């Protein structure tokens, strides 16, 4: 049975988990805890006796252990650190020194490294003795005396070559690696680009520090995607669908109050024109159309720009062309929608000038919407702020305010023709 | 140089690409075309002479070839099919028979399969002769006489065991596989769950048809994420940030006209209350606050529900609990925001009843927003429609209409106290 399926059984088990877990051999427990979510790891560990905890902690892979330690309060972290064997503690501490969102934060230090003078026969012998340790033996890295990365061979290369061939004859020398401080999202792009199963991580001196495997990258990409989707939707990235009411309220309220401020700005814009609305009350009826259509046009542009930045498809090279494209799209769709709404307004009020006012306001607002849907995320990106934080809220604020301003402003100018 | 980097060079090359490409050996061309995007593949093929085209087409892996054929117009597809060798054509045609969004559509039929009576020594001999063919030899599948999948061994298992061991002694018998018709997004979840490098694909009789590798899954997950983000933002999933104006307008306009219909519904709701607005024109000023806050509250719930469904975190088991949670969140945040806006309205109009009307409308609308932010995507999911299509547009329509209805309706009831 796969550890992940055993984990599912434990998750669904209604009885006393302590009894269930004590029946499992230590290696199976280690595999299960390696697979579990960070919070689950803690819960599972707590079910074990002190002795068993110590045994398991020293067998979990170092990177999983660091994730575990970083997810618990300081006191518990110290307790776990105290249970780690003297030999392993330096490795764990080194891993803890890297920012969790970088290559260093997601790499594992368990990789197979050899000397370039070894033959295939030597490597096979070495693998048979070491294999139980390294989970990730599909690639074998060749280091020089300073631990600098000088080559890589795959297990396939080893299998298909003769035993007396020296590894230096068959190794690939241009190894693609990532620097230890590279952001994890960028590491994800490297995996996407090359389709690798794993990538070595090096420091500035090309010393090999660890490897990142593709299964960890899938998690990274999913987390980054969730973060973007959440931010575009005005949610804090830490929220979970099955979380508590208290947690959700605490995370959503600040965002709603930011939005309240922006809504008040939009309301204040309308407030400037109360006199005009008093005289032509149908203006109030058409307000939601101008604001709504502007908001949606802006959200369309915002969405494609934010995603384009995340996927690396919007670059310095095509940025200006994309901006011009978006504005042209705003003009073209603005003319179509503007004429439609203009006719609607004309028929509703039986007044062609009313049609011109609403149609023109719509066109102006939709062009402004594509412009701000581009400029807001691109500016945030330049300021090194996540462009997804631009979120619909800020763009719709602009389109609300400008929409009301154009519509009610034009109505004020043409007021004598509207009454 | 990695083929992906060569591809980058070709992409950026300003001169005559035909000259550049003709200098490359056939195998390098094949590797480059395997890596290229579908549309690029066609462009690259067109640069080659008829003979070279034929050579390359017959060396591209069958799954990439099918992607290529499916991305071009029928005429070109037939031309390509005609260039395929007689031996390979059945394989290509079989692959083409599967829906591109299923396991069958993304699998490759190139995998290594052996008989259970083979020894490690036999396998190594076999691998040395076959290796150039199979890209994906890290797992070797054991089939019975009916081609049913009965076991798997990893290349690691082979390397660490003695030459005379029979594969049936060391193979894992409970092989996790996916059915050929499984949706590609679900296949992605299987990879995420188990952290596999590849998964075998079987038909209903457990006959092995192909394998899916993790690098293809990364693409699938990114595409599915882009689709969700685009749909939530009111975009067609086929749009690209660097696409043409014509293409963007064609894809966005239908969506904007759907939105125009919903905006007209909201406007019509306001139209019902023109008499009330005429008497208390400040109502028009506060309209954007009720609508905007409701829209954002609804979008928050919608976003977490759509993402929860996509990640498999919202299940039948916790669905009811999540609905109740969302409504409770709507009530709690609605009370906070309602009181704030109520006080603001009271001070603005210097009339406590105006404060009560706007505050109460806000509370009601925010509860309705969380309810519809849950119900709309969940209902779509039950109808087998992508819940992301619910998109902010539909939820904000509900919150616009209900918001105006609550606010202007309450104002109409209390009209005598508001004048």
Q: What is the dihedral of CA B401, B407, B412, B415, to 10 degrees?
A: -160
The pLDDT value given to residue A374: 95
For the segment B269-290, the average pLDDT, to the nearest whole number, is: 95
B76-130 pLDDT per residue, tens = 888 888 888 877 788 888 899 999 889 999 998 888 899 999 998 898 888 887 7
- A261 — contact with chain B (CB < 8 Å)? no
CA distance A123 to A138: 13
Give the residue-averaged pLDDT of B366-374: 96
Q: Given the structure tokens 């001169």, which residue do they identify?
A: B15
Distance, CA of B369 to CA of B277 (rounded, Å) = 24
The distance of A82 to chain B (nearest Cα, Å) reads: 30
Out of B252, B292, B337, whose CB is closest to A333? B252
Is the CB of residue B198 less than 8 Å away from at least one CB of chain A?
no
Which among A137, A127, A138, A151 has a CA at the least distance from the CA of A202? Answer: A151
CB A194 within 8 A of CB B4: yes
The per-residue pLDDT for range B169-189, each reduced to its tens digit, is 999 998 999 999 999 989 998
The SS3 assignment for B183 reads: strand
Q: Is A244 on the interface with B (CB under 8 A)?
A: yes
pLDDT for A262 equals 92
Q: For helices A74-82 and A62-71, what crossing angle results, to 10°?
A: 150
pLDDT (0 to 100) of residue B326: 96
Going from the C-alpha of A390 to that of each of A220, A265, A397, B297, the distances in angstroms are: 22, 17, 11, 17
Alpha helices in B280-351 (DSSP H): 282-310, 319-349
Q: Which letter does DSSP use for residue A141 in this model? A: E
Q: Collect all residues of chain A within an 8 Å Cβ-Cβ radius of residue B393.
A: 296
CB distance B131–A159 less than 8 Å? Answer: yes
Calculate ∠ Cα A158-A159-A160, nearest 5°: 95
User: Who has greater pLDDT, A412 or B193?
Assistant: A412
Which residues in chain B (365-404) have CB-CB distances under 8 A to chain A? 392-393, 396, 400, 404
pLDDT value, residue B339: 97
B125 inside 8 A of chain A by CB: no
Count of CA atoms in the C-beta half-sphere (13 A) of B414: 18
Chain B CB within 8 Å of residue A229 CB: yes
Flag whether residue B110 sits within 8 Å of chain A, measured between CB atoms: no
Q: Which of residues 133-152 of A touch B (CB under 8 A)?
A: 137-138
Which pLDDT does position B195 carry in this prediction? Answer: 84
Give the distance from residue A22's alpha carbon to the nearest chain B alpha carbon, in angstroms: 24
> Do A234 and B174 make contact, defined as CB atoms within 8 angstroms?
no
Q: ipTM, 2 decimals?
A: 0.83
pLDDT at residue B163 tops 90: no
Residue in chain B lying closest to A331 (CA): B249
Tokens 């998109």 locate to B391
Q: pLDDT at position A36, please?
A: 84
Are B264 and A337 inside 8 Å of each other by CB? no
The model's pLDDT over B285-317, given as tens digits with 9 standing for 90+, comes to 999 999 999 999 999 999 999 999 988 889 888
Structure tokens at A316: 């310095």
Please report residues of A whose CB lies closer than 8 A to that of B318: 241-242
CB contact under 8 A, B337 and A138: no
Helix (H, G, I), strand (E, B) or coil at A125: helix
Tell me how many helices (H) and strands (E) chain B has: 21, 6
Predicted confidence band of residue B135 (pLDDT cuts 50, 70, 90): low
Q: Which two tokens stand for residue A330?
A: 């705003």
Buried b (16+ CB within 10 A) or exposed e, A215-224: bbbbebbbeb
pLDDT digits (tens, 9 = 90+) for B209-263: 999 999 889 989 988 899 999 999 889 988 988 889 999 999 999 999 999 999 9
pLDDT of residue B105: 92
The alpha carbons of chain A give a radius of gyration, in whole angstroms, of: 30
Please, are residues A303 and B228 in contact by the beta-carbon 8 Å criterion? Answer: no
Query: Cβ of A304 and B256 within 8 Å?
Result: no
Residues of A in contact with B344 (CB under 8 A): 264
How high is the mean pLDDT in each 10-residue block of chain A (419 residues)? 84 82 85 82 84 85 85 85 83 89 91 90 84 69 94 88 90 94 92 89 94 90 91 89 92 93 95 95 95 93 93 87 95 97 95 96 97 94 86 85 96 93
- Residue B230 to residue A292, Cβ atoms within 8 A: no
pLDDT in the model for residue B134: 55
CA atoms within 13 A on the CB side of A337: 33
Whether pTM > 0.90 for this model: the answer is no
Please give the pLDDT value at position B376. Answer: 93
CA distance B54 to chain A (A): 26
pLDDT digits (tens, 9 = 90+) for B325-356: 999 999 999 999 999 999 999 999 999 999 99
CB B127 within 8 A of CB A159: yes
The predicted structure's pLDDT at residue B180:
96
Q: What residue of A is the nearest CA neighbor of B266?
A: A288
Q: Which of A121, A239, A288, A314 to mutate to test binding with chain B, by most B CBs within 10 Å of its CB? A: A288
């Amino acid at each position: 049975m796969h550890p992940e399926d055993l984990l599912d059984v434990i998750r669904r088990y209604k009885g006393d988990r302590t009894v269930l877990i004590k029946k499992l051999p230590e290696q199976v427990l280690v595999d299960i805890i390696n697979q579990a979510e960070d919070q689950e790891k803690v819960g599972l560990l707590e079910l074990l006796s002190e002795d068993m905890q110590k045994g398991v902690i020293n067998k979990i892979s170092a990177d999983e252990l660091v994730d575990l330690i970083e997810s618990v309060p300081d006191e518990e972290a110290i307790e776990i650190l105290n249970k780690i064997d003297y030999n392993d503690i330096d490795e764990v501490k080194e891993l803890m020194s890297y920012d969790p969102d970088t290559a260093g934060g997601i790499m594992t230090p368990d990789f197979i490294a050899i000397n370039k003078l070894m033959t295939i026969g030597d490597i096979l012998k070495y693998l048979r003795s070491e294999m139980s340790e390294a989970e990730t033996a599909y690639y074998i890295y060749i280091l020089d005396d300073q631990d600098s990365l000088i080559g890589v061979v795959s297990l396939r290369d080893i299998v298909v070559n003769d035993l007396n061939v020296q590894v230096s004859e068959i190794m690939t020398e241009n190894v693609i690696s990532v620097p230890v401080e590279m952001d994890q999202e960028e590491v994800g792009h490297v995996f996407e680009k090359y389709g690798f199963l794993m990538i070595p991580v090096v420091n500035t001196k090309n010393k090999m520090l660890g490897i990142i495997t593709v299964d960890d990258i899938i998690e990274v990409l999913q987390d980054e995607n969730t973060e973007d989707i959440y931010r575009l939707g005005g949610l804090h990235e830490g929220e979970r669908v099955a979380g508590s009411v208290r947690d959700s309220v605490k995370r959503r309220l600040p965002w709603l109050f930011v939005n309240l401020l922006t809504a008040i700005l939009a309301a204040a814009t309308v407030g400037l024109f109360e006199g005009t609305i008093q005289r032509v009350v149908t203006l109030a009826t058409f307000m939601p159309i101008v604001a709504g259509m502007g908001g949606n046009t802006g959200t369309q542009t915002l969405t494609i720009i934010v995603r384009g930045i995340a996927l690396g498809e919007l670059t310095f090279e095509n940025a200006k062309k994309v901006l011009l494209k978006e504005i042209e799209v705003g003009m073209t769709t603005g003319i179509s929608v503007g004429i439609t709404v203009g006719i609607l307004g004309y028929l509703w009020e039986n007044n062609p000038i009313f049609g011109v006012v609403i149609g023109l306001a719509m066109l102006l607002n939709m062009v402004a919407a594509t412009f701000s849907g581009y400029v807001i995320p691109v500016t945030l990106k330049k300021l090194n702020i996540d462009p997804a934080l631009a979120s619909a809220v800020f763009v719709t604020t602009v389109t609300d305010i400008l929409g009301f301003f154009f519509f009610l402003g034009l109505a004020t100018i043409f007021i004598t023709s509207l009454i």
